[in-house]
Amino acid sequence: MSIEVKQQTHSNVTATTKKSESLIGKRIGYGLLYLVLAVIAVFQVYPLIWLFFFSLKDNQEVFSNSPFALPTNPKWENYTTVWTEGNISLYFFNSVWITVLAVVLTVLLASFVTFAITRMKWKLNKLVLGLFMVGLMIPVHSTLIPLFDFFLKLNLIDHPLSVVLSYVAFNLPITIMILMGFYYTLPREVEEAAVIDGCSIHRIFFQITLPMTAPVLSTTVIINMIYNWNEFIFINTFISSDKYKTLTVGIQNFIGQYMTEWGAIGATLMISIIPILIAFFFFSNRIVEGIAAGSVKG
């Protein structure tokens, strides 16, 4: 009996030792992982911190001191100057309403298309889906001249509608692709029960299907918002009047032939980045949840 007890005790000690060693190994592994992630985070965040300090400098301090030096006398007036005298308030408002309008139209139209493709049976179903997916392969730069000629014939050059339509057209394919993965996971029994109760196709979409897709809709809203807010090519090509320019193009006002206000440029960039940072911090989890929710069928 004593030999069996000793053997059992030895085996228990060995198992405990192995478990403690595995726990120590896991802790070391997690520690190294967090260290690497912390280093990556520093490299990701540092440019934003540098830009903030850069926006508090004047031209003399920008060129006389090291680019990594802190501002000796912070120029907070750079922000008030660009907001009041540089028309940044107007550009900011234009960026907001153009982005919101384009996002709403894109998400709503993409939801219509996705519902029709995944929930309705008609002959040209696959063909229409293929045409939208082809849009993912068209480079933006190759469409500038045809679009300019098209909007010129419609008298939409130097009109915000040309920019909104361009945003909607180029964001529809990726939005439809994201929505489709989620729509295939929705149970059809809910819609079948609604049909039995006498619901029309419009009520099924707006009162049942659309609310059920809220997680993935938030994902598409954020992705579209970031793209539209940072877009430069269409605004620079189709808009020439200051009253319709957005932040991405308005920054050019501070670049002169003989003198450039670098501190004002830095302040403008910070103002343009802040809304995107706020949206990312509050809704970053939504992006992951929405994509993950539509990544698995069944």
| pLDDT (average), residues 236-252 | 87
| Radius of gyration, alpha carbons of the chain | 27
Going by C-beta distance under 8 Å and a sequence separation of 6 or more, which residues neighbour residue 52? 266, 270
Pick from 259, 183, 172: which is nearest to 215 by CA? 183
**Residue 62 belongs to some domain of the structure:** no
123: pLDDT confidence band, cut at 50, 70 and 90? confident
pLDDT the model gives residue 259: 57
What proportion of the chain, given as a percentage, has pLDDT over 90? 22
CATH code, domain with 275: 1.10.3720.10
pLDDT the model gives residue 298: 44
**Residue 67 belongs to some domain of the structure:** no
**Are residues 106 and 154 located together in one domain of the fold?**
yes
pLDDT the model gives residue 224: 92
pLDDT the model gives residue 288: 61
- pLDDT tens digits along 40-99: 888 888 888 888 888 888 888 877 777 777 888 888 888 888 888 777 888 999 999 999
Name the residue type at position 59.
Answer: N
pTM: 0.79
pLDDT the model gives residue 149: 93
**Are residues 175 and 261 located together in one domain of the fold?**
yes
**Are residues 183 and 236 located together in one domain of the fold?**
yes
Q: Measure CA 57 to chain center.
A: 30
Domain that holds residue 27: 2-54
Three-state DSSP at 241 gives coil
**Residue 77 belongs to some domain of the structure:** no
31: pLDDT confidence band, cut at 50, 70 and 90? confident
Domain count, the chain: 2
| CA gap 205, 191 in Å, rounded | 9
pLDDT the model gives residue 257: 47
Average pLDDT, whole number, for the chain? 82
**Are residues 88 and 49 located together in one domain of the fold?**
no
User: Is residue 286 over pLDDT 70?
Assistant: no
Other Cβ atoms less than 10 A from the Cβ of 254: the count is 20
Q: Which burial class, exposed, middle or buried, applies to 173 when counting CB atoms under 10 A from its CB (0-12, 13-18, 19+)?
A: buried
Give the Å distances, CA to CA, from 249 to 13, 155, 197, 225, 242.
Answer: 70, 21, 53, 17, 9
